[in-house]
């Protein structure tokens, strides 16, 4: 799955739960046998792989436990938002079982220019607030009644847009389920929401080469 550079060196790799055993086999092939120090693997050539428990999973202390936890089916809430677009869903295991996508016009930024710029800025701010309110309504209808069945809420897109939606007091129970994982996705559409399920379920590992 995806890879991204890690602060301080190394790279973050997202691994599908079903691919964990194969990933470990490949790690041995590339770096030699490893020893476990909790969820950190230290290979013979000095390479390391530091694993994180996936969102909504029970804490794991060994790789065997992590694989079991990662492969257990969980219901995850999804909220993706950018500007005036929002996509909300529920994933049951690897399947998206509930979804809703909506768009709300929000004017783009304008060049500097006196009173007209201020007028456009106020209009844009009002449009953004309306979009956030509409998004909060969709989240409430789809996810709030299911909050007790969700293991975690995974968000993505534009952080300020997501924060604006979840600032609604009625969504506080969902806010408490919000995972630290934040998905980097384009403007939310149904296809983007479907593909986000894999990112929400993935197990992240910090790999450092020798």
Residues of the domain holding 22: 3-72+203-208
Among 84-88, 108-112, 148-152, the least confident range: 108-112
The per-residue pLDDT for 103 is 80
The per-residue pLDDT for 144 is 95
The per-residue pLDDT for 34 is 98
Q: For the CA atoms of the chain, what is the radius of gyration?
A: 20
Instruction: List, for residues 97-146, the tens digit of each pLDDT value.
Output: 999 999 854 445 544 444 456 655 555 555 556 567 788 999 999 999 99
Q: Are residues 117 and 147 in the same domain?
A: yes
List, in sequence order, every residue forming a beta bridge with 36; answer none if it has no partner: 41
Q: Are residues 165 and 118 in the same domain?
A: yes
Q: Are residues 89 and 150 in the same domain?
A: yes
The per-residue pLDDT for 129 is 62
Average pLDDT score over the chain: 90
The per-residue pLDDT for 110 is 46
Q: Is the pLDDT of residue 192 over 50?
A: yes
- Rounded average pLDDT over 5-34: 96
- Rounded average pLDDT over 147-173: 96
Helices (H), 32-105: 63-71
Q: Are residues 89 and 54 in the same domain?
A: no
Q: Are residues 160 and 66 in the same domain?
A: no
Q: Are residues 83 and 168 in the same domain?
A: yes
Q: How is residue 164 written in tokens?
A: 């604006």
- 170 contacts 140 by C-beta, under 8 angstroms: yes
Among 113-117, 164-168, 180-184, the least confident range: 113-117
- The CA distance from 84 to 153, in Å, is 20
Q: Structurally, how many domains does the chain consist of?
A: 2
Instruction: List, for residues 40-66, the tens digit of each pLDDT value.
Output: 999 999 999 999 999 999 999 999 999
Q: Are residues 143 and 98 in the same domain?
A: yes
Q: Are residues 134 and 52 in the same domain?
A: no
């Amino acid at each position: 799955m995806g890879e991204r550079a890690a602060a301080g060196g190394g790279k973050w790799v997202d691994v599908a739960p079903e691919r964990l055993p194969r990933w470990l086999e490949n790690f041995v092939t590339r770096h030699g046998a490893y020893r476990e120090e909790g969820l950190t693997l230290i290979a013979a050539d000095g390479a390391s792989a530091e694993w994180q428990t996936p969102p909504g999973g029970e804490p794991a202390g060994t790789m065997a436990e992590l694989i079991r936890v990662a492969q257990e089916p969980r219901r995850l809430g999804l909220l993706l938002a950018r500007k005036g677009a929002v996509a909300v869903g529920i994933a049951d295991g690897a399947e998206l079982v509930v979804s809703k996508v909506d768009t709300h016009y929000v004017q783009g930024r304008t060049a500097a220019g006196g009173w007209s710029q201020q007028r456009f800025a106020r209009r844009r701010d009002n449009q953004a607030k309306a979009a956030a309110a509409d998004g909060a309504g969709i989240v409430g209808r789809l996810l709030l009644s299911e909050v007790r069945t969700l293991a975690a809420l995974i968000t993505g897109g534009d952080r300020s847009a997501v924060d604006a939606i979840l600032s609604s007091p009625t969504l506080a129970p969902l806010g408490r389920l919000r995972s630290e994982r934040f998905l980097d996705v384009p403007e939310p559409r149904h296809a983007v929401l479907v593909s986000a399920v894999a990112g929400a379920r993935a197990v992240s590992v910090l790999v450092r080469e020798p």
